Amino acid sequence: MEKLNRARGNFATGICYVNLEYKTWNILRSKGDFNWLQTSLPDNFIYLGHNQAPTSSQRVFDQKTSHPFVCGDWVVAHNGVLTNYKNLISQFTPGHSNPVDSSVIPALFCEFESRYGPCEDIDDEKEIILPVLGYLEGTFALWIVNLRSMNIYIARQGSTLYHKDVNVSSIKGDDYLPVEEGVLYSYSKDGLIPFGNFKSKSPFLTL
């Protein structure tokens, strides 16, 4: 699946893998394509990947400006373009300095968590994630991990995202169905489960 998604860009590759039972995790980032032949990865993990094209703000590989982005307990990878990136920083996180628009998303989760208290359960996480998604303008396809709980979430607005069984991909495979816009999904080895709705600001007309 990672190889299929290289068509969307191979400037950098990021992978977060988590074990839900033992609550262990790791993040790998590499310049260009990920070399699977030279890397030994453990079984019994869920793998979340991101293939990154060079952006107008960052055209030299750097770990700090490559997906996934981390703030506190939140890990996020994002396909798409946030058109209100600077406004979000000005309004919520004025100290944020990463030039990549995607980086503001986990920073917003941290900021909202600092305002409303730490997340104690999945419902608390929902109350943090949904408002943040409602503030995002532009396009996004996201996977989100909370490292404390190991809960995983999927959402999209405008950007392509498809699913089949337990697989989720920006590239459509055989018999894959679109992930519905404006819906936050929880994700596990059982696949996607709708978990809440946010007000989608998709720039594309849907009928």
Q: Which two tokens stand for residue 105?
A: 């998303």
For a pLDDT cut of 70, what percent of the chain falls above it?
Answer: 86
Q: Which two tokens stand for residue 84?
A: 């209100």
Q: Give the tens place of pLDDT for each residue, 28-85.
A: 888 876 666 566 777 788 999 888 776 555 567 787 888 899 999 999 999 999 999 9
Q: Which residues pair with 145 in a beta bridge?
A: 75, 152
Task: Kindly list the distances between the CA atom of residue 168 and the CA atoms of 48, 62, 63, 68, 78, in Å, as whole numbers in the listed order.
Answer: 9, 26, 24, 16, 13
Domain 4-197 falls under CATH 3.60.20.10: yes
pLDDT at site 184: 98
pLDDT at site 52: 74
Q: Which two tokens stand for residue 39?
A: 């890397």
pLDDT-derived band of residue 207, with 50, 70 and 90 as boundaries? very low
Q: Give the tens place of pLDDT for each residue, 100-141.
A: 999 999 999 999 999 988 899 999 999 999 999 999 999 999
Q: If you average pLDDT over every residue of the chain, what do you get?
A: 88
